[in-house]
Amino acid sequence: MKRAGTAQFLFEVFVRNALLACSVYFTLLVIIPGFIAGRRLLSSILLLIAAVLFYVLLKDLHDKYLSLQLDKGDAAPGFLKNSYYNLSIVLFYLAFATGIYLSKEWYLQREHIRRIELEKLNTELEYLKAQINPHFLFSSLNTVFFQIDKKNVEARETLGIFSDMLRYQLYECNEPLIGIDKEIRYLKNYVGLQRLRKDENYKISFSGNGELTDFRVPPLLMIPFIENAFKHVSNYNDRNNEVRISVKKSEDRFNLNVFNTKDAKQNPGNGGIGLKNVKRRLELLYKDHYRLDIYEKDNSFEINLELIV
């Protein structure tokens, strides 16, 4: 009978750890995530049994191979001699690894919930701070409105639009969701005020279909995209500067498209807190139920937002 040397020992350690690693990682990367994602219990149990048998049977084969290499003869163990030992080993490692994995997932989930609660609290605090000036402005606007000469119809209409926008922000945006028709009216009012500030070199359009009445969205979710378009729109003197906005709904998909021309040196995609904040807000509110595409060229910038509503 031969004695096992260093080479046989190292080979034994390598094979055992490799087989354990395969069984453990298959369980952690395939079985548990599949079960959490909604796979049936029976499928998960069958896959777990397969992972255990994978280790036990291959390790038994390896043990038999080592016995033959050492010329144990009749003393060599049977094919399933070490099955109970190998079974206990793989079950221990699977249980230990699963416990660590679930503990980590629980901790990450708890931290994620804590961050969401903290962000919501900070948002509420910032909103309360922002309400101080609008209350004062709204009262002041009413005073200014009545001081404007009645013959100055354009100035009165402009002030009326601004008052309507302020009223929307102050009194109607306190709910988590609001009717899409009210949100669209706010966006149109904003675009209307921007038209008054621009000259004839600017081509500004706002289009939408007639189905935007039967669902609700978070208030002020889309305005940062439109603000960004007017902030970074080009200022050409020899050709048109364009801002193009369209909203539409098809079945359960709502789509917002905002396009603007821009100077080649501008870079609206990388800058601006507004766009970063709205991206984070989309992640918190819609998770996997939205798609945001940004297309930036030398002379144009375009976003396409799709929401599952």
pLDDT tens-digit readout, 211-244: 677 889 989 899 999 999 998 999 888 888 999 9
Q: How many residues does the chain have?
A: 309
For 275-287, write each residue's pLDDT tens digit: 778 888 888 888 8
Q: Does residue 34 have a pLDDT over 80?
A: no
Residues 96-139 have pLDDT tens digits of: 888 888 888 888 888 888 888 888 777 766 665 555 555 666 66
* Residue carrying structure tokens 């298959």: 26
Q: Quick one: pLDDT at residue 300?
A: 92
Q: Which of 179, 249, 168, 240 is nearest to 207 (CA)?
A: 249
Residue 291 pLDDT greater than 80, yes or no: yes
Q: Which residue has the higher pLDDT, 166 or 136?
A: 166
CB 239 within 8 A of CB 211: no
Q: Residue 3's pLDDT is what?
A: 58
Stated pTM of the model? 0.58
Domains and CATH numbers, the chain: 6-124 (no CATH), 201-308 (3.30.565.10)
| Neighbour-count burial of 44, counting CB atoms closer than 10 A to its CB (0-12 exposed, 13-18 middle, 19+ buried) | middle
- Concatenated DSSP letters for 140-189? HHHHHHHHS-TT-HHHHHHHHHHHHHHHIIIIITTSS-EEHHHHHHHHHH
Q: For 29, which DSSP code?
A: I
pLDDT band, residue 93 (cuts 50/70/90): confident
Predicted confidence at residue 126, as pLDDT, reads: 67
Could you tell me which of 92, 126, 111 has the C-alpha nearest to residue 24?
92
Task: Say whether pLDDT at 6 is over 80.
Answer: no
DSSP code per residue over 253-290? EEEEEEEEE--TT--TTT--HHHHHHHHHHHHHHTTSE
Instruction: Give percent of the chain with pLDDT exceeding 70.
Output: 83
Q: Is the pLDDT of residue 64 over 80?
A: no
Is the predicted pLDDT of residue 75 greater than 60, yes or no?
no
What pLDDT, on a 0 to 100 scale, did the predictor assign at position 273?
Answer: 65
